[in-house]
């Protein structure tokens, strides 16, 4: 009986997280639609940003550029529009990456850090692609 109650609670918690995440994704999409030249959106972290990851026992990705204080609380999110970051026009349902970071409040600093975050995400994506290619070659 306890297992069933626990499973029901877990399902309800997952549904709440999905609902919160859906709202955040819609908000980010609308922001990028209003800001078609932007590659990165910086905003405070909100409930639901990484809740599903945490429910699965995973930790959200974190990136703090060297120019920022590594001891500051990681309470903000950088939403990177990956298609724009690699120089392609975004398509419907475009790929976005959310990363925890320290607060970046000023518009000037956000503009400076946008390219830093975009480059970091692109490097990570390229590294993952290289790993996949290597694994394919080794298994062939």
Q: In this prediction, what percent of the chain has a pLDDT beyond 70?
A: 95
Range of the domain at 26: 2-139
DSSP conformation class of 78? E
Per-residue pLDDT, averaged over 82-96, amounts to 79
What pLDDT is recorded for position 124? 87
What pLDDT is recorded for position 95? 85
- CA–CA distance from 53 to each of 45, 49, 57 (Å)? 14, 9, 6
Please state the domain count of the chain: 1
Q: Compute how many other C-beta atoms are within 10 angstroms of the C-beta atom of residue 19.
A: 11
């Amino acid at each position: 009986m306890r297992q069933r109650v626990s499973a029901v609670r877990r399902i309800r918690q997952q549904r709440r997280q999905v609902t919160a995440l859906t709202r955040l994704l819609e908000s980010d999409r609308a922001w990028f639609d209003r800001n078609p030249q932007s590659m990165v959106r910086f905003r405070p972290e909100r409930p639901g940003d990484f809740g599903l990851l945490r429910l699965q026992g995973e930790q959200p990705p974190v990136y703090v550029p060297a120019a920022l204080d590594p001891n500051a609380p990681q309470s903000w999110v950088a939403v990177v529009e990956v298609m724009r970051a690699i120089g392609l026009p975004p398509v419907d349902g475009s790929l976005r990456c959310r990363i925890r970071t320290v607060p970046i409040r000023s518009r000037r600093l956000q503009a400076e850090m946008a390219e830093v975050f975009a480059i970091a995400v692109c490097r990570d994506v390229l590294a993952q692609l290289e790993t996949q290619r290597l694994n394919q070659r080794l298994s062939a």
